[in-house]
């Protein structure tokens, strides 16, 4: 299974009961054979431009693992799901992730050295 990052923009009217659309999204991912590694709700934010006559959306970020045929299934389902204004599903670049981890480690070492 390959690692992916999924960012979903959920309709702002559903902010009060956000768990219902999130349960639906989780179900779509797991029914396609995927596994959710982590989930982060970024909250309601203003959009850079209107999407489906909306100025705001609830942003939710997922780290997921999917088998080879799952991204197509998930995309097909998300395209017809009313709760989702927009989504972005991208494959994780392992080299980039290692570089970011090393940079973060070096930054924490530098901060620790400055404190001493």
- For the entire predicted model, the pTM comes to 0.79
The total of structural domains in the chain comes to: 1
Written as one string, the DSSP assignment of 86-97 is: EEEEEE--HHHH
pLDDT of 16 reads: 87
Q: C-alpha distances in angstroms, 57 versus 14, 76, 92, 96? A: 9, 21, 24, 28
Written as one string, the DSSP assignment of 47-80 is: EEEEETTEEEEEEEEEEEEE-TTHHHHHHHHHHT
Q: Is 29 exposed, middle or buried (0-12, 13-18, 19+ CB in 10 A)?
A: buried
pLDDT averaged per 10 residues, the chain (length 116): 93 90 93 93 93 93 92 92 92 81 78 62
Domain containing 33: what range?
2-115
pLDDT of 99 reads: 80
Pairing of strands 35-51, 84-91: unpaired
pLDDT of 116 reads: 59
User: Domain of 59: which CATH number?
Assistant: 3.30.70.60
């Amino acid at each position: 299974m390959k690692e992916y990052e999924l960012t979903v923009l959920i309709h702002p009217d559903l902010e009060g009961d956000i768990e219902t659309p999130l349960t639906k999204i989780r179900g779509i991912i797991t029914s396609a054979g995927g596994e959710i590694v982590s989930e982060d709700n970024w909250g309601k934010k203003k959009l850079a431009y209107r999407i489906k006559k909306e100025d705001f959306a609830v942003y939710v970020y997922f780290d997921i693992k999917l088998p080879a045929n799952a991204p197509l299934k998930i995309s097909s389902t998300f395209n017809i799901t009313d709760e989702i204004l927009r989504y972005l599903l991208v494959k994780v670049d392992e080299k980039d992730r290692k570089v970011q981890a090393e940079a973060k480690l070096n930054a924490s070492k530098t901060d620790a050295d400055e404190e001493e």
